[in-house]
């Protein structure tokens, strides 16, 4: 492995930028992409030189194993620009570690740390104009890796492509969200790949989520595969419940993603003396709390939205509305976390990562 000082990124700049054609005041999340992308190929048993190229299509054979056996994992990260034009990332080493953890579970070779950080920083510097100032504005970063070896034999690929693409984003708002507690479908099972950011995990969610939407819900809170008695995750986010003044969240496992926002919120809650219990949470417990008025909040936590408040839920044909709070844990924690991300507050945790010019 080359050390950081000897790594060279092969950069080909786009002949012109499309940034002037983008309406940054009206962005649809994940639909607009910057001028460049990073590509690194795995061939002959090792990762080759990282390259930065103009954003555009890639060519794959129809028999590429990613299409047939789903060898694909990804990450979600963000970059922020503060009022002094400094660019920051939020806990990027956690994302790096997690994509390699996901890769290992799908028999994909792990990506070198030096390649990841050097190529990512080079990409952000090249497309820095796409990172806009303003609380809520950010650049969403999508690293992913796919199996590219042609062949339909049921075996891991020998060739892979690690890529990073970037998309400008605004403050994420989805309107009022109501969820359905899953009674039949499960996101993941013991011993499976639920802890990994495997592409197939998310594709498998679409059908039951569509069914929930037909009933008037926007998302699903998944229950355990064995009994459907315990609440685990909400759609693509970790989930928190506030019962009286205590926050509850499920423990991570081989079924539940080790969310970076989740673990950050738990750490922040401790600093601000908000009691948190990390334990199994039963459907029965939350339904009873909703009935007796002790259930104050439910919110999802993830990179895209940071925190997404939930207004109500449905279970076994019954619908439950949550109270509208003027001072919620969700809004308090979201504000504190985002101020760290945008360098508007002290970072006692050491989470900010500066992208130096």
Q: Ramachandran region of residue 58, left (φ > 0), alpha (ψ -120 to 50) or beta?
A: beta
The whole-number pLDDT of residue 173 equals 66
Phi–psi pair at 49, nearest 5 degrees: -65, 130
- Asked if 158 and 22 sit in the same domain, the reply is yes
| Among 88, 102, 201, 202, residue whose Cα is nearest residue 143 | 102
Residues of the chain with pLDDT under 70: 1-5, 173-174
CATH number at residue 126: 3.30.470.10
pLDDT, residue 352, reads 98
Q: Are strands 51-54 and 10-11 parallel, antiparallel or unpaired?
A: parallel
Structural domain boundaries, residue 195: 178-341
Whether 316 and 237 map to the same domain: the answer is: yes
State whether 61 and 36 are in the same domain.
Answer: yes
Point out the domain boundary residue: 140, 169, 198: 169
Q: How confident is the model at residue 4, as a pLDDT?
A: 56
Look at residue 5 in the predicted model and tell me its pLDDT.
56
* Same domain, residue pair 109 and 204: no
Which residues does residue 242 pair with via DSSP β-bridges, in sequence order?
247, 297
Q: Are 162 and 280 part of one and the same domain?
A: no
Phi and psi based region of residue 69 (left: phi greater than 0; alpha: psi -120 to 50; beta: remaining): alpha
- 74/32 same-domain check: yes
Which pair of structure tokens corresponds to residue 281?
Answer: 């949470």
Q: Kindly state the tokens that stand for 270.
A: 């401790």
Report the 10 Å Cβ neighbour count for 173. 9
Distance CA 347, CA 82 (A): 14
Whether 132 is in a domain gets the answer yes
The answer on 147 and 84 residing in a single domain is yes
347 in a structural domain: no
The pLDDT value given to residue 171: 82
Q: Given CA atoms 89, 90, 92, 95 in this order, what sign does their dihedral have? A: negative
- Which of 137, 169, 201 terminates a domain? The answer is 169
Tell whether 51 and 200 lie within a shared domain. no
Position 283 in a domain: yes
The total number of structural domains that make up the chain: 2
Do 323 and 296 fall into the same domain? Answer: yes
Give 88's strand partners: 80, 354
Token digits for 145? Answer: 């890796």
Q: What is the radius of gyration, based on Cα positions, of the chain?
A: 21
| Residue 122: both structure tokens together | 């080079």
Residue 349 falls in which region: left (phi positive, over 0), alpha (psi -120 to 50) or beta: alpha
In a domain, 357, yes or no: no
Residue-wise DSSP of 121-138? HHHHHHTGGGS--STT-E
Query: Are residues 189 and 153 part of one domain?
Result: no
Domain boundary among the residues 169, 193, 212 is at 169
In a domain, residue 351? The reply is: no
- In this prediction, residue 1 carries a pLDDT of 43
Domain check: are 92 and 208 in the same one? no
Single out the residue of 312, 253, 301 nearest to residue 276, CA to CA: 301
Q: Quick check: is 33 in a domain?
A: yes
CATH number at residue 335: 3.20.10.10
**Domain-located, residue 52:** yes
The pTM (predicted TM-score) of the whole model is: 0.95
pLDDT at 172: 76
The pairing of beta strand 276-278 with beta strand 246-249: parallel
Question: Same domain for 111 and 133?
Answer: yes
């Amino acid at each position: 492995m080359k050390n950081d000082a000897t790594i060279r990124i092969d950069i080909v700049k786009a002949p012109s930028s499309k940034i002037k054609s983008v309406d940054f005041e009206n962005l649809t999340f994940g639909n607009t992409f910057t001028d460049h992308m990073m590509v690194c190929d795995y061939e002959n048993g090792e990762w080759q030189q990282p390259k930065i190229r103009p954003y555009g299509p890639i060519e794959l054979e129809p028999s590429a194993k990613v299409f047939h056996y789903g060898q694909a994992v990804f990450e979600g990260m963000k970059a922020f620009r503060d009022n002094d034009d400094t660019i920051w990332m939020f806990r990027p080493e956690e994302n790096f570690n997690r994509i390699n953890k996901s890769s290992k579970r799908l028999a994909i070779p792990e990506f070198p740390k030096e390649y990841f950080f050097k190529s990512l920083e080079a990409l952000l510097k090249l497309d820095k104009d796409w990172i806009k100032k303003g609380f809520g504005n950010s650049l969403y970063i999508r690293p992913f890796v796919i199996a590219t070896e042609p062949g339909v034999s049921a075996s891991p690929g020998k060739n892979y492509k690690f890529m990073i693409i970037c998309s400008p984003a605004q403050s994420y708002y989805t309107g009022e969200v109501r969820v359905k507690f899953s009674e039949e479908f499960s996101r993941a099972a013991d011993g499976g790949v639920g802890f990994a950011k495997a592409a197939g995990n998310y594709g498998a969610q679409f059908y039951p989520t569509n069914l929930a939407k037909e009933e008037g819900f926007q998302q699903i809170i998944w229950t355990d595969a064995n009994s459907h008695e315990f609440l685990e995750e909400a759609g693509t986010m970790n989930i928190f419940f506030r019962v009286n003044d205590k926050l509850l969240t499920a423990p991570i496992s081989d079924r539940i993603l080790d969310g970076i926002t989740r673990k950050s919120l738990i750490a922040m809650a401790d600093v601000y003396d908000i009691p948190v219990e990390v334990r199994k949470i039963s459907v029965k417990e939350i339904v009873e709390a909703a009935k007796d008025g002790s259930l104050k909040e439910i919110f999802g936590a993830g990179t895209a939205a940071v925190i997404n408040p939930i207004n109500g839920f449905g279970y076994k044909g019954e619908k439950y509305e949550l109270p509208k709070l003027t001072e919620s844990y969700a809004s308090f924690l979201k504000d504190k976390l985002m101020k760290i991300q945008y360098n508007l507050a002290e970072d006692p945790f050491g989470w900010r990562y500066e992208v130096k010019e």
